[in-house]
Amino acid sequence: MSYPAELYHGDQGEVSGTLWKGDSAPDLVIGGRTGVHYLATGESTGGQYGLYRWDMGEQPGGPGPHFHKTMSESFFVLSGVVGLYDGDRWVNAAPGDFLFVPPGGIHAFRNPEGPASMLLLFAPGAPREGYFEELAEVAASGRTLSDEEWADIYRRHDQYMV
């Protein structure tokens, strides 16, 4: 395997890094129990990847088994216990545990034992913020969506439920 094509063509380098402070407030709160930090979005990385910190609260929750057609997804547990589903079985993952799921790979996650935090990495960088923001809006509104409305949200955001 070789290095990919150059993305930067200068000779001197440039000051262009972005620092995110660990004590920053979440960019989004879903259902009053999950804080989402947009560390790097697909837009801010030029489509290379998206990286989010996902802080789950006391109440268990998480998506059911699903897959994506356009991107891989990776999970790195920072704290607590995160239930990770690799398409075959659930594993209670501890800090330092990592799961990589290629495009098409069935996966899911949840916090079975209370508060937990993990990093989510999508590659290439899809606009996942729109999906998370729709979930937050639905939760905040208290609306109950029809199966057709859920199917529309999932279709628009490369989320294929199993």
Q: Which two tokens stand for residue 67?
A: 């897959």
CB-count exposure of residue 36 (10 Å: 0-12, 13-18, 19+): buried
Q: Which CATH class is domain 28-161?
A: mainly beta
Pairing assessment for the beta strands 160-161 and 98-101 based on DSSP bridges: unpaired
Q: Write down the pTM of the prediction.
A: 0.92
CA distance 120 to 146: 28
Q: What is the pLDDT of residue 24?
A: 94
Q: What is the pLDDT of residue 141?
A: 95
Average pLDDT over residues 96-119: 97
Q: What is the pLDDT of residue 153?
A: 96
Average pLDDT over residues 37-44: 95
Q: What is the Cβ-side half-sphere exposure of residue 77, based on CA atoms within 13 angstroms?
A: 20
CB 75 within 8 A of CB 82: yes
Average pLDDT over residues 141-147: 94
CB 138 within 8 A of CB 150: no
Q: Which residues contact 61 (CB under 8 A, 6 or more apart)?
A: 31, 33, 34, 110, 111
Q: Predicted confidence band at 87 (pLDDT cuts at 50, 70, 90)?
A: very high
What does the pLDDT look like over 21-37, one tens digit per residue? 999 999 999 998 999 99
Q: Predicted confidence band at 132 (pLDDT cuts at 50, 70, 90)?
A: very high
Q: Where are the domains of the chain?
A: 28-161
Q: What is the pLDDT of residue 43?
A: 93
Q: What is the pLDDT of residue 116?
A: 98
Average pLDDT over residues 39-61: 95
Closest CA to 122 of 75, 88, 83: 75
